[in-house]
C-alpha cells in the first residue's frame, strides 16, 4: 500500500519520477525509461515545457497534423490540428477540398464581448445598494486604471459594469456583471485582475458608506472570476452552393443528398441525445485547432456547450436550409480566443502554427476555428447519411489496430492493401493478421 507524501513539489524532477514509478507502477525501470524517452533532447526546450505546469515528470505528445485547402473569405489556409482521434484531419481536409471548388467558406465575427463577475451577498435594502452602486461605479473604473492603461491604448478595456439583483434565484445574492474588450488577447488574467480590483474597491467603499452603516448591513464578497460563457463573443461561418452542385460522389443524387443532410441536422436540433454527439463532432475540429494554437480548449468547450443549451434544450450548433435552389449550411457559436499572451508567446509549436495561419488576429483565428468546426460537421453528417461513419473512420483507424497487434512494416503494407477493397472491422483485421502470421 502506498503512503501519502509530504513536500512532493520540492523534490527534483528525477526524484518525482522515481517516487511515482516505485510507488505506483509494477515495473519502475520500464516506467522511468518510458518517461525519459518523451523528454526533449534540447535541454532548454525541455526546461520550458517543465515550467508550463507544476510537478512535471515528462511530456505528453499529441500528433500535429495539417488540413489544407481551406478557402476562408477568399484567403487560402492550411490549418494545423493537434488531435489523437483517427479520421478528424482527413475529414476536415476532405470537406475543405469539397468547398474549395464551390466558393469556399464565409465567416464573420458578430461580437467580441468578454464577461466577468463579482459575486457578493447583501441582505439590506436593494434601493440603498442601487444608490451606492451608482455613486461608486466611477471609482471602480478609476481604481483599475493601472491595470487597463495598456489595453486601453490598443483600443480595449472595460466596456460596462452593471449591478444585477439575483435575489429571486438565490437569497441575498447580487453581482457586478462586467464586460470587456481584450482585442488579440484571450484576456483571462486581465479580466480576473480587474475583477479583483473592483471587488476590493467596492468592499472598501461600502464599509465607509453611511448608507450601510445606518442600516447595519454589510456587503460580503464571495468571489471574483471571469465567465467562460460569452454569448456575445460570437462567430458565424457558412457555406452555400446550388443544390445541383452538392454531389460528394457520382453515385449520389444532389437533391436527395441535400434533403438527407437537412433531415439529419433537424434531428440534432430536436433530439438532445443526437445533438451531443453531433456537437462533439464539431468540437473535434474546433478543439484540434484551439489546442494547436495554444488556446484553452476546456474554456471553449464549456462556453460552446452552454450556448447550445441557451434556449433551455440542448440543440445542434449547425443549421441547413434549401431556398431558391441554394443549399446553405452554417454555424454560430461563441469563441473567446487569443493570439498573444499565454502559450502563444512561449510554445515554439504554437508560434509555428500561428505562422502557418498567416499570423492571424484574434478575430481571424475565431473565424478559422469556427470554419474548422463547420467543415468537420459537414464531413461527419455527409458520411452518416451516405456510407455511414464507420467506413471512413475504421480505414483511418486501421494502423492503430495493426500497431496494437504488433504488426511489422511488411505486414502493415500487405494488410492495408487488402483492406482497400474490404470493410475494416476489429475482428476482420485480427483475422487477416492471424492468417498472415500463420502463412507468411
Rounded CA-CA distance 383/321 in Å is 19
Q: State the DSSP H helix or E strand holding residue 414, giving kind and residue range, or none if neither.
A: helix 409-418
Residue 234 vs residues 16, 71, 110, 162, 315: alpha-carbon distances, Å: 43, 21, 5, 21, 17
Q: Cell triple for residue 73?
A: 473569405
CA 263 to chain centre: 27
State the catalytic residue, choosing from 75, 145, 273, 280: 280
String of DSSP letters for 399-438: HHHHHHHT--HHHHHHHHHHTTSS---HHHHHHHHHHHHH
State the catalytic residue, choosing from 196, 205, 238, 296: 296
254 CB-near residues (< 8 Å, 6+ apart): 243, 244, 245, 246, 247
Sign of the alpha-carbon dihedral angle for 73, 75, 81, 86: positive
132 CB-near residues (< 8 Å, 6+ apart): 205, 206, 209, 211, 212
CB 325 within 8 A of CB 243: yes
Note if 204 is an active site residue: no
State the catalytic residue, choosing from 50, 85, 108, 301: 85
Note if 393 is an active site residue: yes
Cα first-last separation, the chain = 47
State the catalytic residue, choosing from 114, 315, 347, 393: 393
Note if 85 is an active site residue: yes
Q: State the DSSP H helix or E strand holding residue 89, giving kind and residue range, or none if neither.
A: helix 88-100
Note if 253 is an active site residue: no
- Strand pairing partners for 241? 327
Catalytic positions, written as ranges? 85, 280, 296, 393
Amino acid at each position: 500500500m502506498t503512503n501519502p507524501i509530504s513536500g512532493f513539489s520540492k523534490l527534483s524532477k528525477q526524484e518525482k519520477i522515481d517516487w511515482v514509478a516505485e510507488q505506483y507502477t509494477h515495473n519502475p525501470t520500464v516506467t522511468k525509461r518510458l518517461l525519459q524517452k518523451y523528454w526533449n533532447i534540447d535541454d532548454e526546450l525541455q526546461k520550458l515545457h517543465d515550467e508550463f505546469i507544476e510537478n512535471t515528470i515528462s511530456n505528453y505528445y499529441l500528433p500535429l497534423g495539417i488540413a489544407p485547402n481551406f478557402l476562408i473569405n477568399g484567403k487560402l489556409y492550411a490549418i494545423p490540428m493537434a488531435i489523437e482521434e483517427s479520421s478528424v484531419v482527413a475529414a476536415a481536409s476532405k470537406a475543405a477540398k469539397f468547398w474549395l471548388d464551390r466558393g469556399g467558406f464565409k465567416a464573420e465575427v458578430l461580437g467580441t464581448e468578454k464577461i466577468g463577475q463579482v459575486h457578493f451577498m447583501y441582505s439590506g435594502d436593494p434601493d440603498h445598494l442601487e444608490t451606492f452602486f451608482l455613486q461608486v461605479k466611477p471609482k471602480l473604473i478609476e481604481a483599475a486604471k493601472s491595470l487597463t492603461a495598456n489595453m486601453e491604448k490598443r483600443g480595449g478595456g472595460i466596456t460596462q459594469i452593471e449591478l444585477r439583483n439575483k435575489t429571486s434565484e438565490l437569497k441575498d445574492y447580487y453581482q457586478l456583471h462586467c464586460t470587456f474588450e481584450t482585442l488579440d488577447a484571450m484576456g483571462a488574467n486581465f479580466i480576473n485582475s480587474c475583477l479583483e480590483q473592483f471587488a476590493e474597491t467596492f468592499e472598501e467603499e461600502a464599509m465607509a458608506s453611511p448608507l450601510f452603516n445606518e442600516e447595519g448591513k454589510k456587503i460580503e464578497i464571495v468571489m471574483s472570476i471571469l465567465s467562460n460563457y460569452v454569448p456575445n463573443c460570437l462567430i458565424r461561418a457558412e457555406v452555400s452552393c446550388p443544390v445541383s452542385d452538392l454531389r460528394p460522389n457520382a453515385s449520389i443524387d444532389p437533391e436527395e443528398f441535400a434533403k438527407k443532410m437537412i433531415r439529419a441536422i433537424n434531428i440534432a436540433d430536436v433530439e438532445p441525445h443526437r445533438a451531443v454527439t453531433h456537437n462533439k463532432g464539431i468540437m473535434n475540429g474546433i478543439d484540434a485547432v484551439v489546442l494547436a494554437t495554444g488556446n484553452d480548449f476546456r474554456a471553449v468547450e464549456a462556453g460552446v456547450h452552454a450556448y447550445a443549451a441557451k434556449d433551455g434544450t440542448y440543440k445542434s450548433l449547425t443549421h441547413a436550409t434549401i431556398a431558391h435552389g441554394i443549399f446553405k449550411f452554417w454555424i454560430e457559436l461563441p469563441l473567446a480566443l487569443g493570439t498573444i499572451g499565454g502559450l502563444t508567446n512561449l510554445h515554439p509549436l504554437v508560434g509555428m502554427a500561428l505562422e502557418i495561419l498567416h499570423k492571424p488576429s484574434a478575430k481571424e483565428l475565431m473565424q478559422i476555428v469556427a470554419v474548422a468546426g463547420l467543415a468537420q460537421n459537414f464531413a461527419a453528417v455527409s458520411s452518416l447519411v451516405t456510407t455511414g461513419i464507420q467506413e471512413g473512420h475504421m480505414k483511418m483507424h486501421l494502423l492503430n489496430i495493426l500497431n496494437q497487434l504488433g504488426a511489422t512494416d511488411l505486414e502493415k503494407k500487405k494488410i492495408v492493401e487488402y483492406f482497400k477493397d474490404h470493410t475494416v472491422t476489429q475482428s476482420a483485421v485480427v483475422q487477416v493478421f492471424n492468417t498472415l502470421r500463420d502463412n507468411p
